[in-house]
Structure formats: structure tokens, C-alpha cells
Amino acid sequence: MHSWSEGAWEKVMELTTDAYMTIPEIHGVFVDSILTDEADNLMFGSFWGRDTAIREFQGRLTLGLSEGGMTSFNVQGDDYQNQLRKVFTRIGNIETLEQMTGRVHTDILGELVHCWLYQRDIIKPDMANHRALLISMDDESLNLWNLVKTICPVPLLDHWENQLIPELYNSGMIKNLNGINQTGKQIVIDEDQMALIVKNGCQDGSLTVHHDNNSL
């Protein structure tokens, strides 16, 4: 295994790919994707570093400020056009964050630790509160509608998708997450509001029980 100084290792990581960003508050931790909600709370993050750097990062997330802990951090780096990208990130409630780590062996950098931090709603929707998170780097339209149907307390028909999805965005029940190198949606269904939307749609004819295959 090659022996690298901390500074040399960080320089190699910065030059390896434009995807990696840094956290100024933590030396030696790099980020390849990040997602936050509208209040800047961390929804998903993918972090890389040496074992000691990742352990320091994980430890400081659980400590109070008086103990050297962090309640927020910045993620920043240049994109392929040398434009600065920056995301301010709040930890929020650490109890709602799940962690998963893995180790990757590389010829150049030796052993790296890959750490994911994410809200548990990404893995398991909160059925009681009709809430879920969807992250994807692909076309997520089908997954979005399926997730809406899963958590919605009001029965929905498949052919209502094109009518209801825009209304869910307009009402704020679906919101885009902010981030870099990753896209995501936050879904929170208000039962009373959703029931009213469906009722009004059925009454004005925009939502029908039978699917009209000839409709555009």
C-alpha cells in the first residue's frame, strides 16, 4: 500500500474527478452528492475519506457545539466549468438520520471509507404521517407516482397521474430537494387537502372512474 501524506492524498482526490467536493469544517472528507430540503436539513449525503477522517466526521455530528460538535456544515467545490458550487447543510435531528459505511480498496489511495447519511424515509416511507422521500439519478416519474399512491390515504386510480402530480406540486405536497449530483423529491400528503382535490376533480370531470384511452 502506498504511503501518502494527508495533503498529498487530498490533492489527488481533488484532481481525480470534478464530482468530489469538500467540507471546509472537516479535513479529509469529500462529498460526491448531497441533498437538502427547503430548510437546508440534510436528506442524503455520500461522503468519502480515510477511516480517521470519517470517524471524526461521524463523531462531531453527535456532539454538542461546546464539545466540538457540528450542527451544520458547508459542501463546496468547482464544477467542470470552474464555477463554485456550494450547499449549506444543517444536521437537523440526528436521530432521524441513518448511516451506512463500506470500505473500498484502491491502488492509488489505499483504503477509503464510503459513508452514506440519509433520512430513513428514503428507505421506509412513513405511512402513519403519509410522508416519503424519493432520490434518483434517472427518470423518476413512474417511481414518484407509485410512491404517492403508496403513502396516500385517499384511494387513487392510475390514470389520474397526469392530472394530480401537477396539483401536488402546486399545493406543496411534492417538493424538489436541493443538492448537487443527485435529485430528489419530498412527498408529504395532507389527507384533508388530498381528499378535497380528488372530490373536486371528480365533480368537475377532470378525474374519471373509467380511463378514456382516446383522451390526450
Instruction: Please report, as a single letter, which amino acid is at residue 41.
Output: N
pLDDT at 3: 38
pLDDT at 213: 59
Instruction: Please report, as a single letter, which amino acid is at residue 191.
Output: E
Q: How far from each other are the two terminal CA atoms of the chain, in whole angstroms?
A: 62
pLDDT at 31: 94
Are the C-beta atoms of residues 76 and 24 closer than 8 Å to each other? yes
Question: At a CB cut-off of 8 Å and minimum separation 6, what does 191 contact?
Answer: 130, 153, 154
0.85 exceeded by the pTM?
no
C-alpha cell at 39: 430548510
Taking the C-alpha atoms of residue 16 and residue 29, their distance in angstroms, rounded to an integer, is 14
pLDDT at 6: 46
Query: Closest Cα partner for 57 from 96, 97, 7, 18?
Result: 97
Taking the C-alpha atoms of residue 48 and residue 110, their distance in angstroms, rounded to an integer, is 13
The CA-based angle 42-46-50, given to 5 degrees, is: 120
User: Cell 441513518 maps to which residue?
Assistant: 98
pLDDT at 166: 96
Are the C-beta atoms of residues 150 and 132 closer than 8 Å to each other? yes
Taking the C-alpha atoms of residue 40 and residue 42, their distance in angstroms, rounded to an integer, is 6
pLDDT at 69: 84
Are the C-beta atoms of residues 98 and 87 closer than 8 Å to each other? no
Name the stretches of the chain with pLDDT < 70: 1-19, 78-83, 107-109, 137-141, 213-216
Interhelix angle 141-151/161-171, rounded to 10 degrees, is 80
Q: Give Cα separations from 62 to 59, 72, 84, 99, 154 (angstroms).
A: 6, 11, 29, 12, 38
Q: Give Cα separations from 56 to 37, 50, 59, 61, 100 (angstroms).
A: 25, 10, 5, 9, 15
